[in-house]
Amino acid sequence: MADKTLTAEERAGRAFPVSWDQFHRDCRALTWRLNDAGPFAAIIAITRGGLVPAAIVARELGIRVIDTVGIASYDHTRQGELNILKAISEDTLKLGSGTGKGLLIVDDLVDTGKTAQLVREMLPDAHFATVYAKPKGRPLVDTFITEVSQDTWIFFPWDTALSFAPPLRDGAA
């Protein structure tokens, strides 16, 4: 049974820090794959994590209609109830014929897949893309770039800062 006193990050154990450069490259690689799956009438970014990849993908694919769906589940690193903070707009739903056909949903990652599942229920025919995917959430994603193990915590560049790293011989991991 999962230890409820540990955060999701602590349970993960392994760290996968991603730099801005790396993230930009991975988003561009994602766009190459999405180019064959489109065209898309609009992008729906799952905020907040989906905002940065959505901006890069929109720029590369020339998509100018961008909507958001606001979902929060992690309080920093602890997953709680899923909260819909902002629904998809009526205009976007109409563009996707009510089912999401021809629409692209973008998020930074899937982990347990709970967020993805909720958005998929809103737009079952939309194309779902993430930059990173963990095995539990992977079946819910149509297109992604890099798979990381379930026990990995991904650190995004907007959540981190450069800091001193102790040398290996002083006990650094």
Ligand X SMILES: O=P(O)(O)OC[C@H]1O[C@H](OP(=O)(O)OP(=O)(O)O)[C@H](O)[C@@H]1O
DSSP codes of every residue in the chain: ---TTS-HHHHH-EEEE--HHHHHHHHHHHHHHHHTT---SEEEEEETTTHHHHHHHHHHHT---EEEEEEEEEETTEEEEEEEEEPPPHHHHHHTTTTTTTEEEEEEEESSSHHHHHHHHH-TTSEEEEEEE-TTTGGG-SB-SEE--TTEEEE-GGG--------GGGT--
Of the listed 3, 21, 75, 111, which one is catalytic? 111
Window 121-160: contact mask with ligand GUN (x via CB under 6 A): --------------------------------xx-x--x-
Could you tell me the two tokens for 27? 């988003």
Shortest Å, Cβ 5 to Mg ion: 24
Site for ligand GUN in 76-105 (CB under 6 A): none
Q: Does residue 26 belong to the site contacting ligand GUN (CB under 6 A)?
A: no
Q: Does residue 109 belong to the site contacting ligand X (CB under 6 A)?
A: yes
Which of 107, 111, 116, 131 lies at the binding interface for ligand GUN (CB under 6 A)?
Answer: 111
The one-character DSSP state at 41 is S
Q: Which does 156 bind (CB under 5 to 8 A by kind): ligand GUN, Mg ion, ligand X, none?
A: ligand GUN
Of the listed 108, 125, 142, 151, which one is catalytic? 108
Shortest Å, Cβ 74 to ligand GUN: 5
**Residue 170 annotated to the active site:** no
Q: Which residues fall in the annotated binding site for GMP?
A: 111-115, 153-154
Instruction: Provide the binding-site residues for ligand GUN, judged by CB under 6 A.
Output: 74, 109, 111, 153-154, 156, 159
